[in-house]
Amino acid sequence: MQPLVDFDYLESFTAGDTQVVTEVLALFQGQAEIWRGKLADPGDDRRDLAHTIKGAARGIGANRLGDAADRVEHGDASRVGELRALLDETVAEIEGYLTRIGGG
């Protein structure tokens, strides 16, 4: 199965600087904790929240998560649970990657 995060993209974007990669992913993880709570009951903030997740996900190469957030942002509220699950899976993959590179 294809990875949820294109770490090669992120590494090339940061010129292979593992310290920068680690910092960027740590920021994403911290934000993901906040998003996870908000996704439990996003209410009227659903579109803004999904838009934020989409941008952050695409910025680190998590395009499947970005695509899921895009679907929620553009009206498919029934997919919020799918977005939350994919966010959890993405964070788990990030944690594994950070462990492998010694940054987690």
Q: 1: pLDDT confidence band, cut at 50, 70 and 90?
A: low
CB of 103 closer than 8 Å to CB of 25: yes
- Maximum alpha-carbon separation in the chain: 40
Q: 2: pLDDT confidence band, cut at 50, 70 and 90?
A: confident
Residue-wise pLDDT for 32-83, tens only, equals 999 999 999 988 899 999 999 999 999 999 999 999 999 999 987 899 999 9
For residue 84, the model assigns a pLDDT of 96
pTM greater than 0.95: no
Structure tokens at 100: 């492998």
- Measured between alpha carbons, how far is 83 from 5 in angstroms, rounded to an integer? 15
Q: Please, what CATH class does the domain formed by 7-99 belong to?
A: mainly alpha
- Measured between alpha carbons, how far is 28 from 98 in angstroms, rounded to an integer? 12
Domain locations along the chain: 7-99
